[in-house]
């Protein structure tokens, strides 16, 4: 069965500091991984997907199959980055998307 783990429930950094949100997964197939974000009083929304190798709002995430990780990084955190972040894994064949426990990021001024 697929599983996504986010070891940090809470993460607090200062503005301008680097930030890394950890995500580990277990899946027997070839994973497709995503980061979702939920800002205060907004809907949960897709932030980025590993297959696109994109940078969104300064965030990047690299899939490391050897370490089964998909950590989210940003070199200089901003206060507006404060939000709940979820890592998610899409099964290769089928429709299920499995989420991790979430990490609440707070960026302090």
Partner 1 sequence: NAGVTQTPKFQVLKTGQSMTLQCAQDMNHNSMYWYRQDPGMGLRLIYYSASEGTTDKGEVPNGYNVSRLNKREFSLRLESAAPSQTSVYFCASRGPYKGELFFGEGSRLTVL
Shortest distance (Å) from residue 42 CB to partner 1 = 9
Segment near partner 1 (CB under 8 A); pick from 17-25, 30-38, 57-65, 71-79: 30-38
Q: What are phi and psi of 90, to 5 degrees?
A: -100, 130
| Rounded to 5°, angle at Cα 94 from 89 and 95 | 65
Shortest distance (Å) from residue 9 CB to partner 1 = 6
Q: What are phi and psi of 81, to 5 degrees?
A: -80, -10
Strands 45-49 and 32-38, sheet pairing? antiparallel
**25 vs 5: CA distance, rounded Å:** 6
Shortest distance (Å) from residue 68 CB to partner 1 = 17
Is residue 94 at the binding interface for partner 1, with CB under 8 A as the rule? Answer: yes
Shortest distance (Å) from residue 88 CB to partner 1 = 7
Is residue 86 at the binding interface for partner 1, with CB under 8 A as the rule? Answer: yes
Contact present, 83 and 47 (Cβ < 8 Å): no
* Site for partner 1, rule CB under 8 A: 6, 9, 32-34, 36, 43-46, 49, 86, 88, 90, 94-102
């Amino acid at each position: 069965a697929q599983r996504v783990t986010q070891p940090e429930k809470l993460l607090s950094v200062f503005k301008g500091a680097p930030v890394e949100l950890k995500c580990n997964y277990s899946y027997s197939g070839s994973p497709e991984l995503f980061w979702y974000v939920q800002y205060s009083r907004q809907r949960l929304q897709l932030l980025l997907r590993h297959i696109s190798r994109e940078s969104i709002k300064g965030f990047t995430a690299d899939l490391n199959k050897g370490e089964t990780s998909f950590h989210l990084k940003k070199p200089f955190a901003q206060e507006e980055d404060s939000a709940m972040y979820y890592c998610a894994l899409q099964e290769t064949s089928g429709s299920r998307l499995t989420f991790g426990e979430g990490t609440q990021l707070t960026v302090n001024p």
